[in-house]
Structure 1
């Protein structure tokens, strides 16, 4: 409401003029009203539909089926081919016979003994390789002088296969545990070393400059910037080394060992226990898959900052 005073002649009473604003009509009220809002449940239903439990379960089943289809097909062929005469059962027994021998070795404890022996050797050599290769790789990747000094020497041995040095290790270190563990160290060392060097050299220079501008000391720089940025590349080498540790060790255990999966396979072959031989091969595959799964979990744990 507003009021105004009209001009008047002298001697006359002044009466204020009152102006009343018009009442808004129903159309105006509707036009200027706030738009209707959807509740949280309505918004989620319209924009981001959540699949039901059954749909999620079916989706997971389809993904598992696609991932395992090739493996299932291979196992079916392994079971059927010897039985229909495509291959001789003497040299390739059906899968069911191999699994029966696998179960027998597992129940008797013999398989567990050989697996434990192989894992102890592989784990020892793998751990030593990690403790040696990562610090050396950081030094080579960070300081050019260290790279120039050690580069040619390491390049020479990097191109020498581990199994080619097995006779040398046996000749120098004997036929016992030392030669086998040393061979595993040698086989695991270079994948970890080379990936550590690559990881350190590919750290974003802007991160390093920013950390130095903030006055971060060298030790903290490695701890907070260089190592976290290089972890994914380092773990690529660690996973490669984990696979190499088992493969090389099995070959070493076939020469002069008295226990281990390599010894089990060789012993079964010499005694024509073919189902036991294939059971040992299956055990090696399961051990390798398990080691890779553990390393993948560790990689995700140490690299979780990349997804935050």
Structure 2
């Protein structure tokens, strides 16, 4: 006996009202906004530390109106992009080697597992000494964060490849490079794309965190400028901007991964 599942109201769709999952998301955002304003208006928290949403919105619009923001955005975007490319290439390369060789896996993979959870920011002084105060140190730190994610995912994906595919490649006397390009990487496409999505998040987090510590450019640098000026509306507005940029990038990579997986 079939059950009649509730359907979204057609009139709600015609009016453009959110339904289903979108309605839940909108309700969460509205609830957080109402609670925020309630705390601000209650007087329990100093208004300079927790400004109203109207003040944050005005500061956010003001951030987009400045040329300084776009210059710093380009620098941060370049750092994250280079970190993601370098970390992905090196991580997949090492992951394929570890997944294809039991000896290498037993010898070196434990070190990746042990170093993987280590906070990357502790390596910042070393990266600064090696690559200077410019974007080089941030890219190196971001690539290091992305590397561990892709290396572990690639190594585990290698072990889950259908053995029949590997035997077919060997029976055709495929060379190692051909095995990688024709057998391994196509079979690992979906996990690697999901790993790139995770690597993007870690790379962006690490790069912006490094910019807050010691830098003269980037979104993290702007964030610390607002903090040093005690410009809390702009500080919260900058956090909103970074959150939106991260969400858009993650969403784009997620759609790419879903499209490639089909």
TM range (shorter): 0.7 to 0.9
- Considering only CA atoms, is the larger Rg found in Structure 1 or Structure 2? 1
- Once the two structures are superposed, the pairs formed by residues 80-159 of structure 1 within 5 Å of their partners are 80-159=38-117
Residue 259 of structure 1 deviates from its aligned partner by: 1.6
Give the aligned length.
253
Query: Unpaired runs of 5+ in structure 1?
Result: 1-50
TM-score (norm: length of structure 1): 0.74
Structure (1 or 2) with the greater helix fraction:
2
The answer to whether residue 138 in structure 2 is matched with residue 167 in structure 1 is no
Q: Deviations over 1:143-163 (max 9, x none)?
A: 223324433554453343211
Which residue does the alignment assign to 2:10?
A: 54
Cα-to-partner distance string for 1:221-279 (whole Å, 9 max, x where unaligned): 44444323322222232121111111111211012211211111111111111111111
Q: In the alignment, which of 176, 181, 199 is matched to residue 241 of structure 1? A: 199
Structure 1 Cα separation of the partners of residues 220 and 211 of structure 2: 5
* 1:1-50 residue CA offsets vs partner (Å, 9 max, x unmatched): xxxxxxxxxxxxxxxxxxxxxxxxxxxxxxxxxxxxxxxxxxxxxxxxxx
* Distance change >3 Å, CA 76–CA 114, structure 1 → 2: farther
Give the structure 1 partner of residue 216 of structure 2.
258
| Secondary structure in structure 2 of the residue aligned to 1:257 | coil
Query: What is the Cα deviation at residue 199 of structure 1?
Result: 1.0
Contact 1:125 1:184 in 2 (8 A): yes
- The one of the two structures with greater contact order (alpha-carbon pairs below 8 A, sep at least 6) is 2
Report the CA distance shift for 1:205/1:56 in structure 2 as closer, same or farther (over 3 A). farther
Measured in 2, the distance between the counterparts of 1:80 and 1:284 equals 25
Q: 1:112 to 1:194 in 2, by over 3 A?
A: same
CA distance in 2, matches of 1:284, 1:274: 15
CA-atom RMSD in angstroms: 2.6
